[in-house]
Structures are given as structure tokens and as C-alpha cells.
Amino acid sequence: KQEVTQIPAALSVPEGENLVLNCSFTDSAIYNLQWFRQDPGKGLTSLLLIQSSQREQTSGRLNASLDKSSGRSTLYIAASQPGDSATYLCAVVRVDNYGQNFVFGPGTRLSVLP
């Protein structure tokens, strides 16, 4: 059974710092991995999607990497801003005998202090 963990559970940094969020998954048989952000009381916003054949994706100040063999992904945020404060979730598309399914990690709650 695919399990997804995220470290740290919470992170507080001063504005301007570069930071890394970590995501680990137990089964390397994935189709893709997505990073989302969730603002309090709201739905999820997709940030980056990495296909299983890719190593990384970039969007603005965000860079996500994927290492299937070690079961890890990182989300790098450059020059953090207070507006980046949110919970960041990773999710992997799991492949099993029943087809595809999405498994989410528990999230990392990020606070960027002005």
C-alpha cells in the first residue's frame, strides 16, 4: 500500500529565505507526483506536476524534483514571501490492481514571516 509522508510538518522562516519541503513515498511505481498549496479553509491549487519520466519541473520561484528510485520529491521555494504562507501537499498517482488512484501526504504548514 502506497504511503506518503512529508517533512517537516510545519516550518516558519523569515521573508527572503530559500527553503525546501520534502515528500517521501513508499512505492516507486507511480505515474506522477503533484505539489499543491492549500490556503486556510480553502481548496487546493495545483503548483507543479512531475511525470514519472521527468526529474524536475519549474514554475517561477518554485522547483520540484523527483527521484523515483529513492521515493523522494522536494519542493524548493526561492526567495520566500509572506504570500507563500500556506499548507503544501504532495500527492502521488498510485498504480495498483484496481487502476490509478491519488494518495496525498499530510502536508507541511509553511509560515513566512515579514
**Segment lying near another protein (by CB under 8 A), choices 20-28, 62-70, 72-80, 97-105:** 97-105
Question: Can you tell me whether residue 82 is helix, strand or coil?
Answer: helix
Which cell numbers in the block locate residue 114?
515579514
For another protein, which is the closer residue by CB, 10 or 113? 10
Using CB under 8 A as the binding rule, whether residue 31 contacts another protein is answered as yes
Which position among 12, 26, 46, 111 is part of the footprint of another protein (CB under 8 A)? 46
Using CB under 8 A as the binding rule, whether residue 107 contacts another protein is answered as yes
User: What is the C-alpha separation between 111 and 27, in angstroms, rounded?
Assistant: 30
71 contact partners, CB below 8 Å, separation of at least 6 = 24, 25, 26, 27, 28
Using CB under 8 A as the binding rule, whether residue 104 contacts another protein is answered as yes
